[in-house]
A and B are shown apart, each in its own frame.
Chain A
Amino acid sequence: KAGVTQTPRYLIKTRGQQVTLSCSPISGHRSVSWYQQTPGQGLQFLFEYFSETQRNKGNFPGRFSGRQFSNSRSEMNVSTLELGDSALYLCASSLYNEQFFGPGTRLTVL
C-alpha cells in the first residue's frame, strides 16, 4: 500500500507571495492533518480535515488555510508569506488511531 505523498518536496518563495502544498493520504484514509515543524517551535498542529470538513484547527493566523477534496486529497495554502513561515510542513493521514506521516514539504521563504 502506498504511503502518504506530499508535493512538492521543496519550495522557495519570497515574502508576500502565497503557496499551496498538496497531500495525498493513504488509500482509504479519510482524515488528513497538517503540522508545521520548525527548530524553534517544534511540531505544531495546523488543522485536520475529515470528509471534506475542517474538524479541528490549531493556533495559527488566518493566512494558513486548507481544504480537502472528495477523494480525501488535501491542500494547504499560506498567503502573504513571512520569513517565519519557513518550515517543514508535514501531512498525516489516519483511519483510526494510527497517524502516518508523509515526507514533508520544505518551504523556504526569502
Chain B
Amino acid sequence: GEDVEQSLFLSVREGDSSVINCTYTDSSSTYLYWYKQEPGAGLQLLTYIFSNMDMKQDQRLTVLLNKKDKHLSLRIADTQTGDSAIYFCAETSGSARQLTFGSGTQLTVLP
C-alpha cells in the first residue's frame, strides 16, 4: 500500500527553528496534513496543504511541498517548550477522506 515516512526523533534548542520532514509514495495524494499529538491527547490539526501548492504559511508554521520528490516539510519558527510533542504527517488520496499517517516525529525542545 501507500506509504508515508518520517524520521522518529528531533531535538532543538528553545528559540531555534525546527524542521520536520516527511516523504510519501502516493502520486495521487490530494491533501497533505500536519497533526500534533501531546501525551494522553488526541490529534490537533496544525495545517494542511493542497497538492498543487508549493508553500503555505500560518503564523510560526511554514509548510513546504516538493511534489516532484514527494517531500513535505513543516518548519516551526522560534520553537518553544510547549511545541514538544509528536508530529504526524498524513495524506489523503483522490476524493477519499481516509488519512494515511506517518509514524510520527518526536520533537523535543531543550531549554
Show the binding face of A for B, using Cβ within 8 Å: 4, 31, 33, 35, 42-43, 45, 48, 55-56, 58, 90, 92, 94, 97-104
Contacts and interface: CB of A to CB of B under 8 A. Distances in A.
Q: How large is the interface on B (under 10, 10 to 19, 20 to 34, 35 or more residues)?
A: 20 to 34
B24 interface: no
B104 A42 contact: yes
B88 interface: yes
Chain B's interface: helix, strand, loop or mixed, by majority? Answer: strand
Given A48-B97, A101-B43, A102-B42, 9 more contacts: A43-B99, A45-B98, A90-B42, A97-B48, A98-B45, A99-B45, A101-B42, A103-B42, A104-B42
Interface string B82-101: 00000010101000111111
A33 B99 contact: yes
Chain A's interface: helix, strand, loop or mixed, by majority? Answer: strand
Contacts of A100: 45
B73 interface: no
B43 A45 contact: no
A99 B99 contact: yes
12 contacts: A33-B97, A42-B101, A42-B103, A56-B96, A92-B43, A92-B99, A97-B48, A97-B50, A99-B45, A101-B35, A101-B42, A104-B42
A110 to B, nearest CB: 20
Contacts of B102: 42
A33 B92 CA distance: 13
B25 interface: no
A4 B41 CA distance: 13
